[in-house]
Amino acid sequence: MEPHRGTVGKPSRERAEPGKRLRRSRLVEPADGGRDLCLGVRGRLARRRREDALGRALATELLERDAVEELAVDAPHECFAFLEASAFSPTFLIYLHAPAYWKRLLAASDDEAREAYALFRRQVQIFLVRAQGRRWLSKSPAHMGFLDSLAGAFPDCAIVSTRREPLESIPSLCSLTAMVRSVGSDDVRPAEIGREIFDGFVESARREEAAQAALGPGRVHDVAYARLAADPMGVVRDIYERYGFSYTQVFERRMQAWLAAHPRHAHGVHEYSLEQFGLDREEVFEATDGYRRRYLADAIT
């Protein structure tokens, strides 16, 4: 639920269990249009591969770095497009500088947020028609500031939130934002991005903390990103045990195979810094100290 704290590692767990994750091929159009009905599964995938080719040509720099997750048309993907369908998503701020939109998003009424997440839920229901009633699994940091609305739309959902050191996650999202904006603009301002992402993290973390308190203890399962990176299999086992999900040897072997085929930093190390985006390390540390002590106490030395 927090801005870009290394979500690239998660598709391995999602992809390992067939039928229980959101495929990119169904992300933009959860319901087939008339033209898709006569194409069949292979025809739809072929069309979307052609459409993706244009995006790949425009985003070569992104795909060459270890900053983005797998974008294959039949691979797992984040669910933020379902929020974007209602024009209610902080991910729009990655694409362009829009401070007025962020203010409007934060000022949204409870009814507006519920309406946006109701549309999100409807799209999930459409998707699940094709999934034969299997459990829904998706992920996106976009929900961080709207956890109460997410839980309201899915009252029986299991929520897992990874926690990464803000001194790392904030410049990581800054770097991703700069790269994404550079695809469509030559006017990319690092210091402007730095302030937007920093302020956005602080506010989103505040809203998430309030939502967790309202939801009650134990509603959200917190996972340290450092542990996820070091022991992904152990983290998944803990999550499955926590929520009573079936953890099989077949599932474990699939995860192991995926991890072996997709090692971290396969495209090189994604390098970034707070200073690169005009941020002062001490200021960021002090502003995020409460978050650090609340969720990363074991990592504090």
Residue 231: the pLDDT is: 94
**Contacting residues for 146 by C-beta, under 8 A, at least 6 apart:** 113, 117, 207, 211
Residue 2 belongs to some domain of the structure:
no
Residue 195: the pLDDT is: 97
Residue 56 belongs to some domain of the structure:
yes
Count CA within 13 A, CB hemisphere, residue 114.
Answer: 5
Q: Alpha-carbon torsion 189, 195, 200, 205, what sign?
A: positive
Residue 21: the pLDDT is: 52
Residue 27: the pLDDT is: 53
E strands present in 192-242:
220-224
Cβ distance 5 to 163 under 8 Å?
yes
Residue 1 belongs to some domain of the structure:
no
Residue 18: the pLDDT is: 45
The CATH number that applies at residue 268 is 3.40.50.300
Residue 251 belongs to some domain of the structure:
yes
Residue 31: the pLDDT is: 56
Residue 73 belongs to some domain of the structure:
yes
Residues of the chain with pLDDT under 70: 1-76, 133, 266-268, 299-301
Could you give the CA distance from residue 4 to residue 141 in angstroms, rounded to a whole number? Answer: 7
Q: Which of 286, 4, 11 is nearest to 162 (CA)?
A: 4
Q: Alpha-carbon torsion 55, 60, 64, 68, what sign?
A: negative
Residue 200 belongs to some domain of the structure:
yes
Could you give the CA distance from residue 7 to residue 115 in angstroms, rounded to a whole number? Answer: 27
SS3 161: strand
Could you give the CA distance from residue 223 to residue 158 in angstroms, rounded to a whole number? Answer: 13
Could you give the CA distance from residue 301 to residue 293 in angstroms, rounded to a whole number? Answer: 11
Q: What is the dihedral of CA 261, 50, 68, 157, to 10 degrees?
A: -90
Residue 16 belongs to some domain of the structure:
yes
- The count of domains in the chain is 1
**DSSP conformation class of 61:** H
Residue 130 belongs to some domain of the structure:
yes
Q: pTM (2 decimals)? A: 0.79
Structural domain of 31: 7-299
